[in-house]
Amino acid sequence: MEKLRKLLQAAAGKGPEAEEPQEPEPSPGSGDGNGDKAPGGHCQQELRQLKEEFERYKVRAQQVLKSKATKDVGLAKELEEAREQLAELQDKHVLLQLAADDTEKRHRQELEARKQELSQLQQLHRQELERCQLEFRERALRLEEEMHKQRDRALAVLAEKDRELEQLRALALPHGPKSCRDGGPGPGDAPSRDSSEILPQELQLCSGSEPTFFLYAEQLARKEVEIAALRKHKHRLEVQLHQLQGRALAEEDKHREEVAALRGEIQKNCRDKGREGANLEYLKNVVYRFLTLPDARGRQQTLTAILAILHFSPEEKLSIAKSSAHGSWWLHGKR
């Protein structure tokens, strides 16, 4: 450039001389005139070369600047898209973080609630088990007491019958030796008189003790039947106890399952209510972004997010994709 500047100054200094009418160039063998004009022609030729080189540098610089500007525009557009994606990802990150915190808090609450429920169910089960054990223990004690009473009554009846038999033996034994003694040496009318007196007495004793013996046997058989019936009743009560215990366990399992199902529904409803506000806020932001985005690519990305949030079915997604391909109402409205 310094050289070009010097050449331009030299050309400007010789400008008036160049404007004067030039004489026709002498022939090559004209003599000393060639020696005076040769430096000026050389400078002009060099000036033209420098101008051409300058123009080439200028065109090259313009091309470089133009390509740089185009590249800067592309980079700026990519940067803007990256910023938009970053903002969207930051929003999603915040929402996911809030959802994760909410889920963790809810899981902790569910864990505490289930621990409390388990403790309550265990306590209720223990109380019910103690109540059943106490009730059936009382039943067993009552049955055992009744059995002891029946046994005592049977023993009392047996003792009474033994006493009656002893009394009968005591009454019957004195007559036997006496009759033997009377049947020995003595008057002849004494044996007939003693035998006539003893026989009615013995018949009377036999006739009096026979109903008592039958009554005793009947009562003894009745007691044995009652004892067998009580044993059967006790066995039935034990079977009923086992059945009631099994039924109580089945009812407890069923109740636990129903409580778990109801608790799951309650927790689902609570989750739906808790997520409703955040989902509506996020959906509002996404719809606002969809309505304000100028480019089709950004609207397509936002539409994908909307479809994911609202849980569209595959058929609905396909219908929306076809409508977007043929031009949607939003594109017509923008035009």
Extents of the domains making up the chain: 88-179+196-292
Q: What is the spatial distance between Cα 298 and Cα 135, in angstroms, rounded to a whole number?
A: 75
| pLDDT (0 to 100) of residue 274 | 66
Amino acid occupying residue 150: Q
Sign of the torsion formed by the C-alpha atoms of 194, 200, 203 and 209: negative
Burial of 315 (0-12, 13-18, 19+ CB in 10 A): exposed
Sign of the torsion formed by the C-alpha atoms of 62, 67, 71 and 74: positive
| Cα angle value 155/160/162 (rounded, 5°) | 95
pLDDT tens track for 22-52:
444 444 444 444 444 556 778 888 888 888 8
- How far is residue 304 from each of residues 69, 200, 307, measured CA to CA in Å? 33, 124, 5
- Whole-number average pLDDT of the chain: 74
Is residue 61's pLDDT more than 50? yes
Is residue 193's pLDDT more than 70? no
Whole-prediction pTM value?
Answer: 0.29
Is residue 331's pLDDT more than 70? no
Q: What is the spatial distance between Cα 67 and Cα 65, in angstroms, rounded to a whole number?
A: 6
| pLDDT (0 to 100) of residue 172 | 72
Q: Which of 60-69, 126-135, 182-191, 290-299 has the lowest mean pLDDT?
A: 182-191
Between 313 and 32, where is the model more confident?
Answer: 313
| pLDDT (0 to 100) of residue 252 | 86
DSSP result, 86-124: HHHHHHHHHHHHHHHHHHHHHHHHHHHHHHHHHHHHHHH
The alpha helices in the chain, defined as continuous H runs, are 2-13, 15-19, 33-182, 189-292, 296-310, 314-326, 329-334
pLDDT confidence band for 109 (50 / 70 / 90): very high
pLDDT tens track for 216-253:
777 788 888 888 888 888 888 888 888 888 888 888 88
Q: What is the spatial distance between Cα 279 and Cα 287, in angstroms, rounded to a whole number?
A: 12
| pLDDT (0 to 100) of residue 43 | 84
